[in-house]
Amino acid sequence: MDAGERVVLVHDWLTGMRGGEKCLEPLCREWPASRLLTLLHKPGSVSPVIEQTRILPSVLNKLPKVDRYYRYLLPLMPFAAGWRITDADLVVSLSHAVAKSARPPKGIPHVCYCFTPMRYAWHMKESYFDSKGLLGGLKAKAIDLLLSRIRDWDRRTADRVTHFVAISNTVRDRIRDCYNRDAAVIYPPVDTEFYTPSNQPREDFYLVVSALAPYKRFDLAVDACRKLGRKLIVIGSGQNAAKLKAQANGDTTFLGWQSDEVIRDHLRRAKALLFPGEEDFGIVPLEAQACGCPVIGYGRGGLTETVRPLSDGANATGVYFEEQTPDSVVDAIERFEQNADRFDPRAARRNAVRFRKDRFEAELFDYLVLATGRTLVRRAA
């Protein structure tokens, strides 16, 4: 039997090639014969490396056109994630929702690479559930009851994990708070071979690149640029797009979803990236720095581990703001512009290269060997 057939991978859902899937990819490359358990799979939505594994979706995948509305099923997902694994030597889950709940065979290690404990159940309920008005108040009580049960389930299923690995110190602290468990930290990979600087001059616009979800707080970037009369380009799509367009003026341009090549081109030319949300880690700020682009962001969460502030002198790669308000973002933009000559694109590039892909893969596989106490059969390079 191929050694990879004894490895079981678990991922929340496979509906696009985002940061989580880029962390999954090297595991699929090493063990192409592995089983890959997931709630949902949209064929062709992830890389060929992932598609080649034996993907086994849950019963939710049978719902018609579920890839269009699956996020609305978040509160129900724990009840669909009843994975009881047999015949395996190693289970590796990559989880920000329910993947960590996979139950391994007795005595078999289950390593969870945790992007964050469930956002909607623990620390971002307001961003996922609107509870305004009288009906909203009644709905809020029902939601609170449901989320309380989900948190209980989430804590219980954490016991199925033998080893937690967090994507940042921020997430490590959340794992400790939510599950009372320690975790190693291995930062996710950044494609510094693709995201590179160019000789193009920086242009007079700020940039936003992301899914346009409410918790990302891009309303702050739009408001700040409107107040200052600065040009802003927004790349991305999502549930908050219409609201952002309504509050923007003529200085803000919305490009919608764009390819990686278009994103790279804009990162090479933008004055700075605006990143006003509190993130678990945040790949985009590092992709920006890999292109030599400074970052203006909220000084909380994972960003504090990836962007070096003005106090770092010649190594500075960005500016923090301390409050999620338009005025605080305005102040940060003005401080950035006053100190623009202090930002060296070479320093930004050096900082980003610390997070390169080969570093991630080496740390991850070394950890799996150390944590499981066994030699892993890996494919030849």
Task: Say whether 38 sits in a helix, a strand or coil.
Answer: strand
pLDDT-derived band at 381, boundaries 50, 70, 90: very low
- Amino acid 122: pLDDT: 73
Q: Out of 41-45, 247-251, 374-378, which region has the weakest mean confidence (pLDDT)? A: 374-378
E strands, 142-237, where?
163-166, 184-185, 206-209, 232-235
Percentage above 70 pLDDT, the chain = 92
Q: Is the pTM of this model over 0.75?
A: yes
309 with 318: CB under 8 angstroms? yes
Query: Other C-beta atoms within 10 Å of 218: how many?
Result: 26
Instruction: Report the relative pairing of strands 206-209 and 184-185 from DSSP bridges.
Output: unpaired
Q: What is the pLDDT of residue 380?
A: 38
Check: CB of residue 222 under 8 Å from CB of residue 244.
yes
pLDDT band at 79 (very low <50, low <70, confident <90, very high): confident
Cα angle 297, 302, 307 (rounded to 5 degrees) comes to 50
Which one, of 274, 262, 197, lies nearest residue 231 by Cα? 274
User: Which range is least confidently modeled, 91-105, 147-161, 296-310?
Assistant: 147-161
Residue 124: predicted pLDDT: 60
Stretch among 4-13, 128-137, 165-174, 360-369 having the lowest mean pLDDT: 128-137
Question: What tens digit of pLDDT does each residue of 339-352 get?
Answer: 999 999 999 999 99
Instruction: Place 379 in a pLDDT band, splitting at 50, 70 and 90.
Output: very low
Dihedral Cα 233, 236, 242, 246, nearest 10 deg: -10
CB contact at 8 A, 40 and 15? yes
CA-closest candidate to residue 81, choices 53, 109, 100: 100
What tokens does 11 get? Answer: 């991922």
Q: What is the pLDDT of residues 106-132, one digit of tens each?
A: 999 999 999 999 877 676 655 555 555
| Domains (range + CATH), the chain | 3-189+356-372 (3.40.50), 206-353 (3.40.50.2000)
- What is the b/e burial string over 222-232, where b = at least 16 CB atoms within 10 angstroms of the residue's CB? bbbbbebebbb
Give the model confidence (pLDDT) of 355-365 as tens digits: 999 999 999 99
pLDDT above 60 for 330: yes
Separation between Cα atoms, residue 24 and residue 21, nearest integer Å: 5
**pLDDT value of position 305:** 97
In the numeric block, the tokens 């979706």 are attached to 57
So what's the pLDDT on residue 365? 96
SS3 84: strand
pLDDT for residue 302: 94
Looking at every residue in the chain, the average pLDDT score rounds to 90
Query: 239 pLDDT exceeds 90?
Result: no
